[in-house]
């Protein structure tokens, strides 16, 4: 299975927008998947958002996996639904979805250590899928700490990581701190998005930077 796992420094870091940019104008072999989604009681969900923003055919973003209505952590949403999120089942589903030469853009929920059950987190899901990780950093106060902590968690777990994508307005202090203290490179920045702005150009630049880092 070829592809990447997209995580963020926290909830609403900009993961879905980065995924949409990566898919906008991408080859038809590129497909999107959100294995676990919460908050569907009040939101159409990230799959629908990616389809709309990237202008994808629905079959390139299959809306399958674990889906929960409450806008809470996946582990808690699952417990409220009297079920348990099992990584083995998600891996089997991923293998079925992304056979052949398909390139998977898999979006996590929340940050890297968001719990999925009583023992495992999004980090464990990335490991189970055996995908290198792309980290989306929301530009805000505290982003330096969040980005460096995420990088260290990836390193401690021995997970392959590709780099950072900054989401939001330009912040020279964040860029300089990551240059001085992070091991991972900044692969690009996705500015604050305005409605009806095409993502194709920005997506093409992100894909190029990403492909240069992939083994």
What is the rounded distance in angstroms from the CA atom of residue 167 to the CA atom of residue 163? Answer: 13
Q: CA dist 208 to 35, 61, 131, 212, Å?
A: 25, 21, 18, 6
Pseudo-torsion of CA 70, 72, 74, 77, nearest 10°?
-40
> Catalytic residues, which ones?
34
DSSP β-ladder status, 161-167 and 186-190: parallel
Residue 110, exposed/middle/buried by CB under 10 A (0-12, 13-18, 19+)? buried
Tokens at residue 62, please? Answer: 């299959």
């Amino acid at each position: 299975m070829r592809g990447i796992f997209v995580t963020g420094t926290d909830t609403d870091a900009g993961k879905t927008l980065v995924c949409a940019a990566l898919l906008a104008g991408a080859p038809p072999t590129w497909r999107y998947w959100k294995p676990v989604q919460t908050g569907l009681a009040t939101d159409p969900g990230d799959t629908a958002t990616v389809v709309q923003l990237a202008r994808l055919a629905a079959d390139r973003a299959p809306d399958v996996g674990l889906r929960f209505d409450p806008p809470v952590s996946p582990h808690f949403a699952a417990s409220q639904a009297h079920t348990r999120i099992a990584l083995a089942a998600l891996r089997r589903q991923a293998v079925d979805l992304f056979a052949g030469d398909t390139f998977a853009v898999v979006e996590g929920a929340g940050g890297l250590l968001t719990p999925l059950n009583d023992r495992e987190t999004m980090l464990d899901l990335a490991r189970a899928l055996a995908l290198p990780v792309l980290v989306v950093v929301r530009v805000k106060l505290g982003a330096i700490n969040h980005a460096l902590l995420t990088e260290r968690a990836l390193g401690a777990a021995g997970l392959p990581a590709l780099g950072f994508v900054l989401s939001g307005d330009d912040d020279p202090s964040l860029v300089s701190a990551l240059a001085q203290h992070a091991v991972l490179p900044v692969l690009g920045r996705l500015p604050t998005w305005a409605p009806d702005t095409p993502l194709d150009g920005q997506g093409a630049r992100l894909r190029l930077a990403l492909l240069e880092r992939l083994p």
